[in-house]
C-alpha cells in the first residue's frame, strides 16, 4: 500500500473548524468522517483512542462530522453539542461522552453531558436553542459529500482512503504499515 504525504492531498486540507489531536508535524494524518449515532463509528472510537495513545507524536487525528440524519436522527444535534463544547475548550471530552452514550443523544441527554463537563450552561443552552453550530456541522458533511462519501465511518490516512468495510483491523494495519511496523 502506498501512502501519500498528507500535505499533498486535497482530502487532508484542514478546514478551519476541524478538531485534531497530535502534533501538526506528525508523520501521519488520520482523518475520520464520523457520526455520533453510528454503531460502527462508536466501535472505531476505541481503536482511534488506542492509535492516538500508541503512536503519540507520529500521528495527528482529525475528526469531521458526517451525520447521516436519515438513519441517525440525533446525530446532527449531537454534533452541534460537540461544537458547543468546543467553543468552551471541551470538544474531545464531549466527543468521548457522545460515543460512550450513543443511544442517548436527545437534547436532555446532551444537556446532561454538558453539565457533567461543567460547561457554561446558559451559553450552551442558548447556542443549542439557536442551533448556531448547524452550519459548521453541515460544512463538515458537505466536505465529505464533495469527495463522494456516503457512509460513516470513513477514514483517510495521509490522503489515501482506508477501506474499513471488512473490519477496523484494516485501519490499524494501514497505520502500522505506514510507520514501517
Per-residue model confidence (pLDDT) at position 102: 97
Q: What is the mean pLDDT of residues 144-162?
A: 93
Per-residue cell: 165: 468495510
Structure confidence at residue 5 (pLDDT):
37
If you average pLDDT over residues 121-127, what whole number do you get? 98
Residue with the three cell numbers 440524519: 69
What are the angstrom distances between the C-alpha of 54 and each of 50, 172, 175? 6, 11, 11
What are the cell numbers at 10?
486535497
pLDDT grade, residue 35 (50/70/90)? very high
Mean pLDDT over each residue of the chain, to the nearest integer = 90
As a whole number, mean pLDDT of residues 75-87 equals 98
Domain boundaries, given as residue ranges, for the chain:
26-178
Q: ∠ at Cα 98 (69, 135), nearest 5°?
A: 45
85 pLDDT exceeds 50? yes
Task: Decide: 3 and 33 in contact? Cβ < 8 Å.
Answer: no
What is the pLDDT at residue 14?
A: 58
Q: How much is the pLDDT for 4? A: 35
Q: What percent of the chain has pLDDT over 90?
A: 85
| pLDDT above 70 for 16 | no
Q: What is the mean pLDDT of residues 154-169?
A: 92
Q: Which CATH architecture has domain 26-178?
A: 3-Layer(aba) Sandwich (3.40)
Return d(Cα 166, Cα 181) in angstroms, integer: 21
pTM for this model (two decimals): 0.90
Mean pLDDT across 21-33: 93
Grid cell 469527495 is found at 147
In the prediction, which pLDDT does 167 show?
Answer: 87
Across 35-139, where does the E strand assignment appear? 59-65
The pLDDT-based confidence of 13 (bands split at 50, 70, 90) is low
Q: How confident is the model at residue 11 (pLDDT cuts 50, 70, 90)?
A: low
Amino acid at each position: 500500500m502506498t501512502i501519500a504525504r498528507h500535505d499533498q492531498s486535497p482530502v487532508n486540507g484542514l478546514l478551519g473548524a476541524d478538531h485534531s489531536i497530535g502534533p501538526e508535524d506528525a508523520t501521519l494524518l488520520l482523518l475520520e468522517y464520523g457520526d455520533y449515532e453510528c454503531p460502527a463509528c462508536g466501535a472505531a472510537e476505541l481503536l482511534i483512542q488506542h492509535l492516538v495513545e500508541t503512536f503519540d507524536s507520529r500521528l495527528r487525528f482529525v475528526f469531521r462530522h458526517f451525520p447521516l440524519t436519515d438513519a441517525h436522527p440525533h446525530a446532527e444535534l449531537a454534533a452541534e453539542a460537540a461544537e458547543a463544547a468546543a467553543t468552551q475548550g471541551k470538544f474531545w471530552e464531549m466527543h468521548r461522552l457522545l460515543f460512550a452514550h450513543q443511544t442517548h443523544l436527545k437534547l436532555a441527554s446532551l444537556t446532561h453531558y454538558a453539565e457533567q463537563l461543567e460547561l457554561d450552561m446558559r451559553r450552551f443552552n442558548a447556542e443549542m436553542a439557536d442551533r448556531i453550530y448547524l452550519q459548521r456541522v453541515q460544512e463538515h458533511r458537505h466536505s465529505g459529500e464533495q469527495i463522494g462519501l456516503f457512509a460513516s465511518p470513513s477514514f483517510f490516512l495521509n490522503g489515501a482512503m482506508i477501506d474499513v468495510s471488512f473490519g477496523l483491523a484494516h485501519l490499524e494495519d494501514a497505520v502500522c504499515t505506514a510507520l514501517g511496523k
